[in-house]
Amino acid sequence: MGRHRLTLHEAIRAVLSEAGSEGLPIPEVARRIRERGLYLQQSGENLSSQQVYARIHNYPDFFEVDRSSKPAVARLRAGTTIVLSGMSGPLTETEAESRGDEPSMPVLEGFSEGSLLKLYNAVMRELKARGMVRSFNNPVGDVGERAVSRVLGLQMVGRSAKGYDAVGGEGVRYQIKTRWRGARGWRNVMGLRDLDERLFDRLAVAILNRETYEIDWLFHFPHEVAAEYARETTRGFKRITLTEGFLRDPKVTWIIGGPWGRQRQ
């Protein structure tokens, strides 16, 4: 088995975990990493304090910095998990590749939900650029359903419930549809089936931000509005296109955002 190679942020975390809540001045973090050989640059150059500072700045979910001190003091954020098992020395990236070692993976427990979604977005963009995936479909639906339920105070139901995803006050059934601004054709609310059976009372639509997956738009409307605007497709379901006329319909209740910059009500 090849040696475990630490990334720079893992090396920083290893040093700061020993310092406790008091943290360490950033130049001292760099010095300890160099002395212990925890991280080696491919170029062979010595690690600088500036590089450590830059890496800490890129991982705000792991590290916090007290800039009132001179030099600035870094410490681990509370709750950050350290996983460094199996380490027997550092490898440069070239050495790791030559030995067939896998790069060490980031520990995700310390990330906020928003940061995890940003990371997901970056990973999916890179996979798409390499031709490994063709779409960004997941996890848009699940993220949207959870976010909408939080905002509207709904209770999610099980997957076995036909035609609706959550229940609100007085037993109102909500079907939730989510679109991501980064997707082609995001203004088309797809997958509307069995509208004549009236399986839901209101349709809630969330439009997620292209970068952060936070809700840019959130609105809902009664079943009869969905039936009025839904159009047949060649794929066996109906869809609603978010035209200006639809978005301005007074029967559409806006909660967050909107084409006119309307704020949460």
From the options 3.90.1170.40, 3.75.10.10, 3.40.210.30, 3.30.460.40, give the CATH code of 140-256: 3.40.210.30
Phi then psi for residue 138, to 5 deg, are -100, 150
Largest CA distance in the chain: 72
Task: Domain ranges for the chain, please list them.
Answer: 8-110, 140-256
Contact predicate 137/182, CB 8 Å = no
Q: Which of 189, 164, 174 is nearest to 220 (CA)?
A: 174
Residue 19: its pLDDT value, please? 82
* Burial annotation 131-156 (CB, 10 A radius, 16+ → b, else e): eeeeebeebbbebbbbbbbeebebeb
Q: Which of the residue ranges 19-23, 136-140, 185-189 would you say has the lowest mean pLDDT?
A: 136-140
Percent of the chain with pLDDT over 90: 39
Q: What was the pLDDT predicted at 70?
A: 87
36: helix, strand or coil: helix
pLDDT of 237: 92
DSSP 8-state secondary structure symbol assigned to residue 107: P
pLDDT reported for residue 97: 44
Query: How far from chain centre, in Å, is Cα 177?
Result: 18
- pTM of the predicted structure, to 2 decimals: 0.56
pLDDT at residue 107 greater than cutoff 80: no
Hey, what CATH topology would domain 8-110 get?
Arc Repressor Mutant, subunit A (1.10.10)
How confident is residue 197, by pLDDT bands cut at 50, 70 and 90?
very high
pLDDT of residue 94: 45
128 pLDDT exceeds 80? no
Give the model confidence (pLDDT) of 244-261 as tens digits.
999 999 999 999 987 665
Q: Which residues 6+ apart lie within 8 Å of 9 measured at CB?
A: 55, 56, 58, 59, 62, 106
Mean pLDDT score, 200-207 = 96
**Digit-coded pLDDT (tens) for 25-76:** 999 999 999 888 888 776 677 889 988 988 888 888 888 999 888 899 999 8
User: For residue 189, how many C-alpha atoms fall within 13 Å in the half-sphere facing its CB?
Assistant: 26
